[in-house]
Structure 1
Amino acid sequence: MHVTFYRQDNCPLCDEAEMMLRLAQEDYPITWTSIDIRTDDATHEKYMLMVPVVEKEGEVLLYGNIGYIDLVDLFEK
């Protein structure tokens, strides 16, 4: 599964979520594209109160405080 991971710098929740993605990647065949929301005004406006965000094909799957179990539940669907 390939997802898009929206984040921003100096965001502890984003750092934690990326670490959880890396842990989940050890057990599940996942990849992601990481996008800093501050590189695009429309993306920043859309996600500024939600980051970190895991999205697939335009659908927000997870956002905010993303833990390992949240990711496991998502990838086991």
Structure 2
Amino acid sequence: MPYVLYQRDDCHLCDLALAVLAEAGMPAFESVFIDDDERLEARYGHRVPVLQCGNGVELDWPFEAAAVAAAVRGASGETE
């Protein structure tokens, strides 16, 4: 299941989000920087960091490790 973290360069909230993802034991994900992409800037500009799960679920910052873990379980079809 692909996961994407939309973020910006030099973004302290994005750095915090990366720490939360590590705390949650996040599986591999792609980091996408929106700074030079007008389409992504329009969609995520005021929302970054945003974690997108392969099932279409998007978590806007602020999110906690428990919410990330729940989103990952939901995206993979796991139950608690």
Give the shorter-chain TM-score range.
0.7 to 0.9
- Distance, in Å, in 2 between the alignment partners of 1:19 and 1:75 is 16
Unaligned runs of 5+ in 2: 75-80
CA RMSD of aligned residues (A): 1.9
The structure richer in strand per residue is 1
TM-score normalised to structure 2 length: 0.77
From 51, 64, 74, the equivalent of 1:67 is 64
CA contact (8 A) 1:53 1:60 kept: no
Q: What is the rounded CA distance, in whole Å, between the counterparts of 1:56 and 1:75 in structure 2?
A: 7
In 2: Cα distance, 1:49 partner to 1:21 partner: 20
The whole-number CA distance in structure 2 between the counterparts of 1:59 and 1:74 is 10
* Residue correspondences, number: 74
TM-score, normalising length: structure 1 = 0.79
Following TM superposition, by how much is the alpha carbon of 1:60 offset from its aligned partner in structure 2, in angstroms?
4.1
- Residue of 31, 34, 44 corresponding to 1:34: 31
Please list the CA deviations of residues 21-67 of structure 1 after superposition, one character each: whole Å capped at 9, or x if unmatched.
Answer: 12222xx6x11000111121111111001101111347242012121
2:66 partner letter: I
Q: Given that residues 48 and 61 in structure 2 are in contact (C-alpha distance below 8 angstroms), is that contact kept between their aligned partners in structure 1?
A: yes
Identity %: 26
* Residue 18 of structure 1: how far off its partner (Å): 0.9
